[in-house]
Amino acid sequence: MSRSSRNQSSSLPPATDSRLATAVHRESQPQCDQDSGFYLLQDGLSAFVARAALIQEASVSLDLQYYIFEDDSVGRILASLLLQAADRGVRVRLLVDDLGSRVVNPWITVLDQHPKISIRVFNPVAGRSGIKRAVEQALNFGRINHRMHNKLFVADGLVMITGGRNIADGYFSRADIEFLDVDVMALGCVLLDAKQIFDDYWNNPVSVSVAELPLEKLKNQSPENQHLDDLRREVKAFLEEEAKSEFIDALRESKMAGEILAGKIPFQWGPGTLFADPPDKALHRDSVPVEEFPGYKLEKVIRNSKSNVRISAAYFIPGKLGTELFTGLQGRGVNVDILTNSLASNDVAIVHGAYARYRKPLIREGVDLWELRKVSGEKKRKRWFQGKSQATLHAKTFVIDDDLGFVGSINLDSRSILQNTEIGLLMENEAINRELSELFDDWVTGEFAWHLSLSERGKLRWRARDEDGKTLQETTDPETTRWQRWLSWVLSWLPIESQI
């Protein structure tokens, strides 16, 4: 389909006379026009409430771009709120990645009927399920391998959220596996770039309307005579049922919505730069200059650091060049600290296998390396919901010297740098830098993470603390079985590092 024949749309002018607009104007008025305001969303409750509150307060537009938008409690609550916003006259645009989100929710085709809601799928696989989908993935691997890993939320053209969290229960502390993650809520000058980035993705030919997809499976699940009024009744019943749930109770009890409107959110102000891959990277990577890749831009910032670099990365495969970068920094006096997942907390064994070969070279040159424990600081973690969960690191944060902080979707592996499209926000502000550094300090305490070192014979050692403060020491990957360790070792020999 050509660009000229597609239904193009652009970000609407920001709201001007709503409660949210008044609050943002009041917050922004005394600041420099070239600066942006930043507020970290460190825990799952705050991250969920911020999104829900902004949807409820929106009066003009809502633009959402996510790798994963799950059909679970969080996904359905936010989808319900989006429908209510559209009924108020708010224009809603939702862009999801096809492999990440797998559009199988029967609500989707009905939501897309709404005159104020448009839903598009990034780089779709023609086969919606089963053998047909698997065959196309195999035959078109070169194209399908490029995914939209971005996470971006823009409300009324006034407030944005970006970071590591997808839309699914685990990112908001309600699942068997809890993702330790960070988002940043921002306003000010950076919104201009956020809106343009969303428009670029939305209007790119690789983003296809769900109405153009072969959604036979959805149509079979959703009766042909089901209309928006049917969905509205379902939404009402669903929200009434969820009213007793922990998520809705958290939203009802939270003060964040009122604090946003009252201007009580302590935004930190300074220059901000939004890094994002151009959407053409998905189909025509070779035609996109590497200088436009967010990973390349972030590397330049890291390479120019003067005193310290502290990184949390869910997937960390530095490769030869990354290893040389970090050991080179350490060699010229820059302290390099890195937190990533352990074999026990990593959800992809092949990623750990590829990362493991770089541990010793990094440690030998003085890089401090930590690996997240499977059950991380259970007593210290903020628990908004009942029950225990396994922890896994999903955050992608960077602390650079004393004044730069970065939060985004970019892992330190070839997939993020070369294959996927990514996004992230670089913030020049000492207070945000300190917050990210303090969060890093929390995550690398002995209750949360294993600190790696080498014995006199050059063997890896892991050290942590138990709940009583007693030192724990291991000589093999902690909290794993022989099978897990063997599988990770075997997978480490596969010559596919550039694809993971």
Q: Which residues are catalytic?
A: 149, 151, 156, 394, 396, 401
Strand pairing class (117-122; 91-97): parallel
* Torsion over CA: 458, 464, 466, 468 (sign): positive
Cα distance between residue 384 and residue 246, in whole Å: 8
Structure tokens, 393:
């690191």
Separate counts of helices (H) and strands (E) for the chain = 19, 21
Q: Which residues, 6+ apart, have CB-to-CB distance to 149 below 8 Å?
A: 67, 97, 100, 409, 416, 420, 421, 422
DSSP label at residue 461:
E
* Torsion over CA: 234, 235, 236, 242 (sign): positive
CA torsion 334→335→336→338, rounded to 10°? -160
Cα distance between residue 258 and residue 424, in whole Å: 27
Cα distance between residue 372 and residue 445, in whole Å: 10
Q: Are 37 and 160 in contact (CB under 8 A)?
A: no
Q: Which residues in 137-219 belong to E strands, given as ranges?
A: 151-155, 159-163, 177-180, 183-188, 207-209
